[in-house]
Amino acid sequence: MTSSDQGPRRAAPAPEAQAAPAPEPQAAPAPQATPAAGDGAPNATALVSLNGRLVAEREAFVPALDRAVTHGIGLYETLKLIDGVPVFFGEHMDRLGAGLDVLEIVVPWDRATIARFIVELAAAGGIANGGCRVLVTGGAPWGGPSVLIRNDIREPPTGPLRVITYRGIRVSGALKAMTFLQSHLAQRAAAAAGADDAIFVDDEGRMFEGATSNIFLARGGGLITTPAEGAILPGVMRAAVERVAEASGTPVVEAYGRVADLRADDAMFLTSSVRGIVAVGAVDDHELRVDDAMLDRLQRLVADAEQAAATAFRATYL
Predicted confidence (pLDDT) per residue in 73-127, tens digit: 999 999 999 999 999 999 999 999 999 999 999 999 999 999 999 999 999 999 9
pTM comes to 0.85
Nearest to 157 by CA among 266, 276, 267: 276
Q: What is the pLDDT of residues 156-188, one digit of tens each?
A: 898 999 999 999 887 666 678 777 888 999 999
Mean pLDDT computed over every residue of the chain: 88
- 213 φ, ψ to 5°? -155, 170
| pLDDT value at residue 41 | 55
Cα–Cα distance measured from residue 92 to residue 100, given in angstroms and rounded to the nearest whole number: 12
Phi and psi at residue 58, in whole multiples of 5°?
A: -75, -5
Residue 30 lies in a domain: no
- Domain-terminating residue out of 152, 171, 201: 152
Is there a single domain that holds both residue 186 and residue 286? Answer: yes
pLDDT for residue 298 is more than 50: yes
On whether both 174 and 58 belong to a single domain, the answer is no
The enclosing domain of 264 has a CATH number of: 3.20.10.10
Q: Which pLDDT score, from 0 to 100, does residue 189 have?
A: 97
Domain boundary among 128, 152, 176: 152
pLDDT of residue 131: 97
pLDDT tens sequence across 143-155 = 899 999 999 999 9
Same domain, 147 and 207: no
Residues 194 and 255 grouped into a single domain: yes
* Domain-located, residue 31: no
8 domain residue, yes or no:
no
Residues 97 and 209 in one domain: no
If one compares 285 and 10, the residue with the highest pLDDT of the two is 285
Residue 35 has pLDDT above 90, yes or no: no
Mode of pairing for the β-strands spanning 74-82 and 53-56: unpaired
- Integer Cα distance of 17 and 39 in angstroms: 20
User: Domain check: are 100 and 191 in the same one?
Assistant: no
Please tell me the predicted confidence (pLDDT) of residue 71. Answer: 93
Name the band, by pLDDT with cuts 50, 70 and 90, for residue 42: low
Is residue 9 one of the residues assigned to a domain?
A: no
Q: Are residues 128 and 178 in the same domain?
A: no
Considering the domain architecture, whether residues 177 and 283 belong to the same structural domain is answered as yes
Q: What is the mean pLDDT of residues 124-142?
A: 96
201, pLDDT greater than 50: yes
Please determine, for residue 3, whether its predicted confidence score (pLDDT) is greater than 50.
no
Model confidence at 238: pLDDT above 90: yes
Classify residue 3: in a domain, yes or no: no
Domain end point (choices 132, 152, 172): 152
Q: Is residue 259 part of a domain?
A: yes
Please check whether residues 171 and 101 belong to one and the same domain. Answer: no
Name the pLDDT band for 38 (thresholds 50, 70, 90): very low
Domain count, the chain: 2
Q: Are both 165 and 134 inside the same structural domain?
A: no
292 in the same domain as 226: yes
Sheet holding 74-82, edge to edge: 53-56, 47-50, 147-152, 130-137, 74-82, 85-86
Domain that includes residue 209, residue range: 161-303
Residue 230 lies in a domain: yes
Residue 244: pLDDT above 70?
yes
Question: Considering the domain boundaries, does residue 120 fall inside one?
Answer: yes
Distance CA 300, CA 131 (A): 19
